[in-house]
Chain A
């Protein structure tokens, strides 16, 4: 799952190495509209619908946090 998430992130912002950051929004790797693109891509990639209320900066800080979020929906 981590690899797939990394692929989704790189597709949105190919100019960044997401492995180098532990806080994508604070470090400027993602902006609020990238977050929308990311959620839409995660929904499509994993066949889920992440709730709008979960679109908080905390849930998208790094790949592990995103994985935790996606796992919640994949399990459900």
Chain B
């Protein structure tokens, strides 16, 4: 499905990462593979450094920090926010919605819509889509999209497939109406029949956590996971991405009457470096146009990788008085895949900051 939106623009993006850096080389002793074998994957997969939040810090804390940074340093008026969306896999509690907790902590007005969205890899684009829909309503002129995840604590430290790439992060994106902005088309597809290829089996109501679900299981390929941990069928997810994402990019380009070369940067979700390099080659764009460095510097933070990617790699260009044509794409959990092409630039703020308690 492709939806079209008129007169919407992003004005600010602030990403926040924890200051604690965990290094792959220090984690190798946790894995049941030889150091030599692990080191062969370092460069290929982008296993290097990642940011891990302390246990006391939640995704909402990271987003609160980024939002307050915008208020205190960039002149954002709390009163101007008419709606706030919080996209996360890692809420503070089952009840209440974390967006309600954030609404209180951020000091937003009562006349402000708030809701949570449980989404991951495509969650930045899903969140923008919801923000654009809200902005179609009279009375909603400014939306704050908060993306945050601290999924590191749901990944087994003896799972070499997933732990080396996970990263915790948060981001706040401010979106508002602008009648002079070009149309923005958003592509979204879902394949619920494959939803369980990326899951945390236990911990909610289908399978509550108990002593059994917390036990580490040797899954047979040298990795260990419990049912309370993230479980991913890596080969299925890889294959899905390699087949569907190039088709999606073709479709969104066609819908915009654009060629691949007319896109300045392809700012994609970053599950690992190898996957991104294969995508760039398949789509036939240079690897420079599709940055893949986030996963080896900060880790994969699910719905936050795209804003982290933008604020780390393009902040100086996006603060200038010019526009870049960007193709964004997120893909994974759901299975959901989503993409959009938009002109972005002349931002009030575009910054990546470190969280301080």
Contact = CB atoms under 8 A, between A and B. Distances in A.
A33 B222 CA distance: 11
B40 A37 contact: yes
B281 A31 contact: no
Contact of B41 (A33, A49, A53): A33
Contact of A52 (B160, B221, B234, B242): B242
B169 interface: no
B242 A53 contact: yes
Contacts of A37: 40-41, 44
B73 interface: no
A29 interface: no
Contacts of A31: 221-222
A52 B278 contact: yes
Contacts of B160: 33
Nearest to A52: B242
Contact of B44 (A40, A49, A55): A40
A12 B163 CA distance: 22
Contacts of B278: 49, 51-52
B239 interface: yes
Given A31-B221, A32-B234, A32-B235, A52 B44 contact: no
B234 A51 contact: no
B45 interface: yes
Given A31-B222, A36-B41, A36-B44, A53 B243 contact: yes
B353 interface: no
Contacts of A40: 44, 274
Contacts, number: 40
Contacts of A55: 238-239, 242
B347 interface: no
B45 A52 contact: no
B279 interface: yes
Interface in A9-46: 12, 31-33, 36-37, 40
B300 interface: no
A52 B40 contact: no
Nearest to B221: A31
**A-B pairs with the 5 shortest C-beta distances?**
A52-B242, A52-B278, A49-B281, A40-B44, A53-B242
Nearest to A54: B242
Interface string B220-256: 0110000000000011001101110000000000000
Nearest to B235: A32
Given A51-B242, A53-B242, A55-B238, A32 B282 contact: no
B161 interface: yes
A12 B282 contact: no
14 contacts: A32-B234, A32-B235, A33-B160, A36-B41, A36-B45, A37-B40, A40-B274, A49-B281, A51-B242, A51-B281, A51-B282, A52-B238, A53-B239, A53-B243
B241 A52 contact: yes
Contacts of A52: 238-239, 241-242, 275, 278-279, 282
Given A51-B278, A52-B279, A33 B239 contact: no
Residue picked from A36, A49, A51, A56, most chain B C-beta under 10 Å: A36
B226 to A, nearest CB: 21
A3 B239 CA distance: 29
Interface string B242-278: 1100000000000000000000000000000011001
Contacts of A12: 40
A14 to B, nearest CB: 9
